[in-house]
């Protein structure tokens, strides 16, 4: 069995085709929908987050530069979450649709998911160990 897996990996180094890929694909779709909901939640509560952070800046010498930094950081978090959601859904659909899903897409989705605790770490680490070549 190990020699078959090694032969499969060496024959198609840019794709994966192992057992359990369909279940993992479904898990990625569920995770992607969850991240999409988190992205929508972050967008809906932008005003509240700004007011909460701004209320902490009453005794700071230069609150405007910190508020600008907050807006930049908050925007990066929203974009990161949205990209992670889209990549998760696309990777899940690719895993469900074919036995040989593109490895680079799945690795990108797994790496972007690692920033979210605990679900992103769980699915990202499991995916990386699932698609790693076996010796």
Structure confidence by residue, pLDDT tens digits, 7-22: 544 445 555 555 678 8
What's the pLDDT band for 122 if we cut at 50, 70, 90? very high
Residue 31 exposed, middle or buried by CB count within 10 Å (0-12, 13-18, 19+) = buried
Is pLDDT of 72 > 70?
A: yes
Q: Which residue has the higher pLDDT, 93 or 8?
A: 93
pTM: 0.80
The encoded tokens of residue 72 equal 């930049």
- Residues 36/116, Cβ–Cβ less than 8 Å: no
* Contacts of 4 by beta carbon, 8 Å cutoff, 6+ apart: none
Segment among 26-30, 100-104, 106-110 with least mean pLDDT: 100-104
Q: How far is CA 75 from the centre of its chain?
A: 16
Q: In this predicted model, which residue has the larger pLDDT, 17 or 75?
A: 75
For 107-121, what is the mean pLDDT?
Answer: 93
Residue (of 134, 129, 104, 118) closest to 31 by Cα position: 118
């Amino acid at each position: 069995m190990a020699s078959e897996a090694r032969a499969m990996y060496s024959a198609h180094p840019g794709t994966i085709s192992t057992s359990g890929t369909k279940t993992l694909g479904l898990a990625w779709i569920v995770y992607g929908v969850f991240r999409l909901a988190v992205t929508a939640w972050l967008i809906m509560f932008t005003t509240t987050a700004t007011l909460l952070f701004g209320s902490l800046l009453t005794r700071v010498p230069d609150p405007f530069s910190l508020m600008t930094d907050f807006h930049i950081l908050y925007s990066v978090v929203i974009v990161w979450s949205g990209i992670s959601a889209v990549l998760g859904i696309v990777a899940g659909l690719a895993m469900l649709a074919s036995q040989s899903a593109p490895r680079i897409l799945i690795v990108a989705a797994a790496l972007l998911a690692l920033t979210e605790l605990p679900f992103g770490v769980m699915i990202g680490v499991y995916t990386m160990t699932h698609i790693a070549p076996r010796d």
